[in-house]
Structure 1
Amino acid sequence: MTAWNQVYDPLNNLWISAIIAAIPILFFILMLTVFKLKGYVAGALSILVAGIVAVFIYKMPFVFALMSALYGALAGIWPVASIVFAAIFLYKITVKTGKFAIIENSISFITSDQRLQVLIVAFSFGAFLEGAAGFGAPVAITAAILVGLGFSPIYAASLCLIANIAGGAYGAMGIPVTVPALLTGLDGLAVGRYTAIIIPILAIIVAFLLIFIIDGWKGIKQTYPAVLVASISFAITQAAVLYFIGAELANIFAAIISLVALALFLQKWQPKEIYRVNKEGKTDKTVKYSLSAIAYAWLPFIFLTIIVTIFNLSIFKNLFITDGPLEKLVFLLPIPFLNNNVIKLPPIVPEATPYAAVFKFDLFSSTTTAIVITIIVASILFKCSKKLLVETTKETAKELLAPVLTICSVLGFAYICTYSGMSSTLGLAFASTGDIFPLFAPLLGWLGVFLTGSVVNSGSLFAPLQAVTATQIGIAPETMVAVNVIGGTMAKMISPQSIAVAAAAVGLARRDSDLFKVTIKYSVSLLVLVGLVSWILF
């Protein structure tokens, strides 16, 4: 089929073209918040709107728009939806076998104060899972744990989405930093060091914000010593690792130090008033489990962390790359008609470049597989019956049907925006702001994550543009690539994909709009803060 060149200014006025390009995004937000449509309905309608704009304004061939949507839907199923399904399945097994009660008790043993339990679970443990796995699994697992501890579903999901800011920039062994650095030919360590100027400070802010959301200023006044211990130990460790080692281990080291520091501190200090979300809930530790029983209950999550970390090591990944010894175990499906038939043009890229569209089914090296292996191990360890496993499979599939449809529809319209050039139009419009570009640079990363649900994908989309623009206005390109990562992290809590994952994890499959309303104000506020800091510093 004849190749098609992307058009970035179809109306011969960049800002007018940008307004038109923003229509599918604004339409989706409107359908979700004002009209309160279900996520998958809003997503499906947005596919239609994005397709109309792509075909009639951007002159994208209809078959290209159609295949872009199908490609997005496939990407929604694997790896995103598959990770969520496996993570929720693992959590349900721990609940049904009674092991989650021990996990809950072990957390309560450190502190009965549920404000501080949120720091342990959502902030520190969430960052640990983000560093090891990423791609939705941390929010799904930690939100489910908070529900088990007594938090309401909407509360648990929103707290975990907000807490994810602390580690979201360095998920899955730092690839949100290393991938855009590689794409732009920059030093990943240098990019990571620039993110270290802002992200660790934001982590401290987020820790206090979580307490404020739960219990206001009173909560901060009563718990600030513990919050300082958890957040400052996290921030210092994260900054040090970013500066001296790199982004790959920033979350894992920071989370471990934070967890240990907080746990030790709470052995000597506890708030004078113990806060419970359920005022009538038990505050005493009536059941005391042995250390071996606690370790046994936590074993699946410990095993999961180890195996996902192994899966993300370069030596393991290199087995499955092109010309690697196990490359045949990775199934690659070039998307018909679309693959390499869309041509990206300058200034988005240095020279005309075919845009690949290849669906990757990495069955033997994905995070989904790591969780499935963990499920098998947990099923053997906990002696799960066949009946329990079948019932859990049916139950999980029923609960996740709506969220999976949402994820697929959202990525469908996002991929249309990306392959048609609409996303690039928005990027070029903000890049045209000249010397005040650093003020708007985080917005590009934010938009990229909103569209794709991934800081990695946002970097792939906008990092080259950020680097080129930075060079043109006379600042170090590493700074704006770093800002793209930071801005994108602020959008993880409102990305439709993330919202769908969090909602599914706590049984709110059809209340995406409620969750979005909770997180949007925090996302926008932090984005503005990052923009101002970027403008002042760079």
Structure 2
Amino acid sequence: MFTQVYKPVFGSLGWSALVALIPILFFFWALAVRRMKGHVAAALTVLLAILDAWLVFRMPVDKALSATVHGMLTGIWPIGWIVFTAVFLFRITERTGYFDIIRRSISSITDDRRIQALLIAFSFGAFLEGTAGFGTPVAVAASMLAGLGFEPLYAAGICLLANTAPVAFGAVGIPITAMAASAHADSLLISQMVGRILPFASILVPFWLMVVMSGWKGMKEVWPAALTCGLSFAITQFLVSNFIGPELPDILAAIVSIVCLIILLRFWQPKQIWRFKGEASAAEMAATRERGAEPKLTGRQVFHAWSPFLVLCVMIILWALPAVKNVLGKATIIFNWPDLNKLVAQTAPIVAQTTPMAVTYKFDILAATGTSILIACVIAMFICGQSFSDWLRTFADNLRDLRYPLLTIALVVGFGDLFNYSGMSATMAMALAATGVLFPFFSPFLGWIGVFLTGSDTSSNLLFGGLQKLTAQQLHLSPYLTMGANSAGGVMGKMISPQSIAVGASATGLVGREGDLYRFTLKHSVALVIFIAIVTSVYAYVFPGAIPQG
């Protein structure tokens, strides 16, 4: 049995947290400064983290290696499986010419790149987050924007920025229901707290996207679209999370925001059509259409071209139904992970008493979301009239192109698992918890760090939910405030998570340029988590009556 040690350096929490931070700082440096390729930086970071866990945090080498391999397999299945199949579906439509019709159908709504980003990255991405989560929104939406002609860096970066406010309720509310179960809390009360924090971000993010793309002047030109998109999403998110529960806020809010934005565009369009430098201007695009280079599309053509993605949505929703999950789950293989299950123990103050950690691995070959996307890919082959031989060639080409991104994903999830089971993540969490009355401000940063390490708000909530609850009770604060802050702050770490960066890079052809994506998203991630920290502090000390009471 290995019992986690939280103060291995001089018995000091501060020094121990700084030493635990070394692999994370190295990873940032390797990507953002040295501009190493993602899989190289991730491999070196894993090696450094294993040494840190063994030499400083006293984790036996065999268990450190076991934790890393467990994470790597989790990175491949189910996370990498989702990424692979989502990009595969896009490439089927691209290879058969159907995505060109999709591009033209979106352009017929508007040629303005900013509004296209709102429709696809923010609203459609939120729908995918609500139904599937785990990298699906970035993989699908980023590949769609790249196919529309967005610069690859902007296609990936914009989707990473947009995939923030929906994440806390992603995958039909799993992040919140998982935290409620692990921390023995009421999922509706956590949902209500998150639903009282995140709507402020939901209103802000569309404006933020417009500024990032086109500056303050460009944002002013499309403020009605940004306001319509964000406000409709935020209101729906608040109402559903507070009066129904955590399962449907993303799905319903995304649908409402898409409908409201399309209705607005029937009566209003920006005076200036904004496009990236080097692209054809709006006047040139119009002249091209007038010359007949792009004949007008019929409704049937548009519906046919969008059908693979409609099938994708149907399959994902179908896979999320409890009855379907129960049937498909019968083929799932679950086994205790060797040299780790019940052989690593957490202790106080992370848990009330020393508790061995259950570590299993689940291979849900049928129930996995990626499998539902693969079935959508099979159906898309018939919809798009693709031959089976060409479908197989597309599959093989996709596997070849994604081999390094998938390796990167596996390595960074392995790093996250090692960080968790070695106790390094708990040490950093305790250092933040030691801030006392400032803890409401710092509690979102716990979630932020957790999502950075694991790539998942669910994992972050499982990692720190119990600590948030215990710390809040010791400080005589509402545990639902801090647990909600953990989830709300965590979503802002999604855009800098190595896993998400790898997904965005693989979906847009930026493999090897992961460092560029880090530099694109890092400052926005920090600014937005500070915004969430301020909102949380206001609830704690200015409007405590607005906090749900258990």
Normalising by structure 2, we get a TM-score of 0.94
Q: Does residue 1:389 correspond to 2:371, yes or no?
A: no
User: How far did residue 319 of structure 1 move?
Assistant: 4.3
Summarize the alignment of residues 77-476 of structure 1 with structure 2, pairs less than 5 Å apart: 77-277=76-276, 278-280=278-280, 283-284=285-286, 286-319=294-327, 326-327=329-330, 329-476=331-478
User: How far did residue 289 of structure 1 move?
Assistant: 2.0
Summarize deviations over 1:247-295 as a string: whole Å, max 9, x none: 2110111111111111011011111111122532553354322222212
Amino acid across the alignment from 1:410: V
User: Equivalents in 2 of 1:62, 1:210: separation in Å?
Assistant: 44
User: Equivalents in 1 of 2:28, 2:424: separation in Å?
Assistant: 17
Worse-matched range after superposition: 353-362 or 61-70:
353-362
User: Equivalents in 1 of 2:17, 2:407: separation in Å?
Assistant: 28
Are the equivalent residues in 2 in contact too, given 1:181–1:481 (CA < 8 A)?
no
Worse-matched range after superposition: 281-290 or 330-339:
281-290
Which residue does 2:62 correspond to in 1? Answer: 63
User: Equivalents in 2 of 1:532, 1:237: separation in Å?
Assistant: 23
User: Equivalents in 2 of 1:318, 1:378: separation in Å?
Assistant: 26
Summarize deviations over 1:282-322 as a string: whole Å, max 9, x none: 533543222222122111211221221122233333446xx
Are the equivalent residues in 2 in contact too, given 1:79–1:366 (CA < 8 A)?
yes
Amino acid across the alignment from 1:33: A
Worse-matched range after superposition: 5-14 or 511-520:
5-14
User: Equivalents in 2 of 1:55, 1:166: separation in Å?
Assistant: 37
SS of the residue corresponding to residue 197 of structure 1 reads: helix
Amino acid across the alignment from 1:471: Q
Amino acid across the alignment from 1:24: P
User: Equivalents in 2 of 1:448, 1:527: separation in Å?
Assistant: 13
User: How far did residue 489 of structure 1 move?
Assistant: 0.1
Worse-matched range after superposition: 380-389 or 427-436:
380-389
User: Equivalents in 2 of 1:68, 1:511: separation in Å?
Assistant: 28
SS of the residue corresponding to residue 340 of structure 1 reads: coil
User: How far did residue 383 of structure 1 move?
Assistant: 2.2
Summarize deviations over 1:210-256 as a string: whole Å, max 9, x none: 11111112212211112211111111111111111112110111111
Are the equivalent residues in 2 in contact too, given 1:348–1:464 (CA < 8 A)?
yes
Amino acid across the alignment from 1:7: V
SS of the residue corresponding to residue 345 of structure 2 reads: strand
Normalising by structure 1, we get a TM-score of 0.96
Are the equivalent residues in 1 in contact too, given 2:307–2:383 (CA < 8 A)?
no
SS of the residue corresponding to residue 360 of structure 1 reads: strand
SS of the residue corresponding to residue 359 of structure 1 reads: strand
Which residue does 2:50 correspond to in 1? Answer: 51
User: Equivalents in 2 of 1:468, 1:131: separation in Å?
Assistant: 29
Summarize deviations over 1:117-162 as a string: whole Å, max 9, x none: 1101101111011111111111111111111111110111000000
Summarize deviations over 1:497-534 as a string: whole Å, max 9, x none: 00000000001111100100000000001111211221
Are the equivalent residues in 1 in contact too, given 2:308–2:383 (CA < 8 A)?
no
Are the equivalent residues in 2 in contact too, given 1:158–1:519 (CA < 8 A)?
yes
Amino acid across the alignment from 2:436: G
Aligned length: 530
Amino acid across the alignment from 1:478: Y
Are the equivalent residues in 1 in contact too, given 2:381–2:388 (CA < 8 A)?
no
Q: Does residue 1:26 correspond to 2:28, yes or no?
A: no
SS of the residue corresponding to residue 247 of structure 2 reads: helix
SS of the residue corresponding to residue 490 of structure 1 reads: helix
Which residue does 2:8 correspond to in 1? Answer: 10
Which residue does 1:323 correspond to in 2? Answer: none
Are the equivalent residues in 2 in contact too, given 1:133–1:305 (CA < 8 A)?
no
**Which sections of structure 1, spanning at least 5 residues, go unmatched?**
321-325
Are the equivalent residues in 1 in contact too, given 2:71–2:415 (CA < 8 A)?
yes
Worse-matched range after superposition: 455-464 or 37-46:
37-46
Two-structure CA RMSD over aligned residues (Å) = 1.3
Worse-matched range after superposition: 356-365 or 508-517:
356-365
**Which sections of structure 2, spanning at least 5 residues, go unmatched?**
541-550
